[in-house]
Amino acid sequence: MASRKLKFVTGNANKLREVRAILAQSGGTTREVATAKCRRAAELLGGPCITEDTALCFEALNGLPGPYIKYFLKELGHDGLNKLLVGFPTTAAWALCTFAYSAGPGSEPILFEGRTDGHVVTARGDGKFGWDPIFEPNGTGQTYAEMTPEKKNSLSHRYRALSKLQEYLSTLKE
């Protein structure tokens, strides 16, 4: 795959930084959104590309806000997202990342998903990247925002999805 150029399409500089760091270390739904984005990007670019979509899903709300987390966060903030769960018996949540790969225009995108289970907590840590301050992966005792980039990138939903994508891309013939 070394001689091929592949474009990662995102408008989020933080996602791009995480994707680069993860790749450097290891050499309606998010599926629908990722597929549609990837199809359109391949058409616009006229060649192979990858796109990504991320969701934060609350168990108590049957998976909402899911792929709409960006809009919920913008309107409610971290505190408002916590308030959505007041009165529910659980704060369990999962972070879901879906990468889509297209070989080019007209090619059906292939999806690669990664999931990290955790809980929604009161905001802690650096608030520079989305909902990171309110998501604490199970067994870590830290929110994504409190973790070093290396720690987050070794266990995150994005890392898990990228690992699957990397494995697939390594099987492609030159």
pLDDT tens-digit map of 111-137: 999 999 999 999 999 988 999 999 999
53 Cβ contact partners less than 8 Å away, ≥ 6 residues apart: 30, 33, 34, 37, 67, 97, 98, 100
Single pTM value for the model: 0.83
Q: Where are the alpha helices (DSSP H) in 118-172?
A: 149-155, 157-170
Q: Which two tokens stand for residue 25?
A: 């270390």
Q: Is 173 annotated as a binding residue?
A: no
Q: Is 157 annotated as a binding residue?
A: yes
pLDDT tens-digit map of 19-54: 766 655 544 677 888 898 999 999 999 999 999 999
Q: Is 83 annotated as a binding residue?
A: no
Domains of the chain: 13-172 (3.90.950.10)
Q: In 39-58, which positions are buried (b, 16+ CB within 10 angstroms) versus exposed (e)? A: bebbeeeebbbbbbbbbbbb
Q: Is 129 annotated as a binding residue?
A: yes
